[in-house]
């Protein structure tokens, strides 16, 4: 935590957690949708027409990136718990942006894999985990609302980025589209996460998720922050260790439903646009 961040928090007319929320949202509008299947499907037809690649080649890159993400996720989770999401989101956005720019120069399948697979890995692990963790760390009472807003923003990014990609492809070609979206990701996804992110409010001696603005007046003058147990008793969290969590049926239900949903969504979405084009629907 830097001194200027604390000074900024003192001057803000609202909770600093919303700054963290905004810094989490920007990668959700840039790096996250860029390496989503919803965007890759738009590139399948133009890249296949130029290189003659099979649909299985694209599916393999997506699957391999997912496998690597599974392998690194336990380590990423420990890093995020210890150091917060700022550096992870910034590094992920930088890697994804640079890989996107590099994809504009591919001419062989192995170069496509060398660039897309790492980018997909960063999308599926630190980027996915980091955004929701950052918001969850800063909100307790309003966590459902904040996470719902984050999901809406992520959905908006997934809806707009494929349209942007197709617009660039139709006007300037698929190589320019990769460059343009990668440059955009570097511009908006890196610095805000690196500069404004703080691991949790306690690191700034701030009250977590204060119930109203007026109640925050004392949090900037009394250090370190000492919670009023009578005031926050109703919003205390229940914490689980990893061992405790994996022994609950809720954990496994969430895991199974998440895995099943992603398997179905990925398999269908990747081939959706090529199928529509094959049925006679114009790309634009």
Query: d(Cα 47, Cα 24) in Å, to the nearest integer?
Result: 32
pLDDT of residue 220: 47
Q: Measuring CA to CA, how many Å separate 180 from each of 23, 47, 183, 284?
A: 21, 17, 5, 18
Decide if 224 is inside a domain. no
Q: Are 196 and 69 in contact (CB under 8 A)?
A: no
Which residue, among 150, 173, 174, has the nearest Cα to 26 in the 3D structure?
A: 150
Decide if 237 is inside a domain. no
Which residue, among 157, 273, 142, 156, has the nearest Cα to 212 in the 3D structure?
A: 142
Q: Please, what's the largest Cα pairwise distance for the chain?
A: 67
pTM of the entire structure? Answer: 0.86
pLDDT of residue 261: 78
pLDDT of residue 85: 92
Q: Which helix (H) or strand (E) holds 144?
A: helix 143-172
User: What is the C-alpha R_g of the chain?
Assistant: 21
Q: How many domains does the chain have?
A: 1
Q: Name the residue range of residue 71's domain.
A: 16-209
Q: What stretches in the chain show pLDDT beneath 50?
A: 214-225, 229-234
Decide if 249 is inside a domain. no
pLDDT of residue 114: 97
pLDDT of residue 242: 77
Decide if 55 is inside a domain. yes
pLDDT of residue 4: 81
pLDDT of residue 222: 43
Decide if 278 is inside a domain. no
Decide if 157 is inside a domain. yes
Decide if 37 is inside a domain. yes
CATH number at residue 73: 1.20.1250.20
Decide if 266 is inside a domain. no
């Amino acid at each position: 935590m830097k001194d200027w961040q604390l000074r900024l928090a003192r001057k803000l007319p609202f909770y600093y957690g919303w700054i963290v929320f905004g810094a989490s949202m920007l990668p959700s509008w840039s790096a996250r949708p860029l390496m989503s299947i919803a965007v890759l499907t738009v590139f399948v037809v133009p890249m296949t027409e130029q290189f003659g690649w099979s649909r299985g080649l694209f599916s393999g890159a997506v699957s391999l990136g997912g496998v690597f993400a599974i392998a690194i996720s336990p380590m990423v989770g420990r890093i995020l718990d210890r150091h917060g999401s700022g550096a992870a989101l910034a590094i992920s956005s930088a890697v994804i942006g640079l890989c996107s720019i590099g994809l504009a120069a591919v001419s062989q399948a192995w170069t496509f894999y060398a660039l897309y697979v790492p980018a997909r890995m960063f999308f599926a692990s630190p980027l996915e985990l980091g955004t929701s963790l950052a918001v969850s760390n800063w909100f307790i009472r309003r966590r459902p609302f904040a996470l719902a807003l984050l999901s809406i923003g992520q959905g908006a990014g997934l809806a707009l980025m494929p349209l942007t990609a197709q617009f660039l492809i139709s006007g300037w070609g698929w190589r320019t589209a990769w460059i343009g979206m990668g440059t955009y990701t570097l511009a908006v996804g890196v610095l805000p996460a690196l500069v404004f992110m703080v691991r949790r409010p306690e690191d700034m001696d701030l009250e977590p998720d204060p119930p109203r603005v007026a109640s925050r007046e004392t949090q900037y003058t009394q250090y370190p922050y000492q919670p009023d147990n009578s005031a926050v008793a109703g919003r205390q969290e229940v914490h689980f260790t990893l061992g405790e969590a994996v022994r609950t049926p809720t954990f496994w239900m969430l895991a199974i439903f998440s895995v099943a949903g992603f398997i179905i969504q990925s398999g269908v979405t990747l081939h959706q646009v090529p199928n529509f084009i094959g049925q006679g629907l114009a790309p634009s």
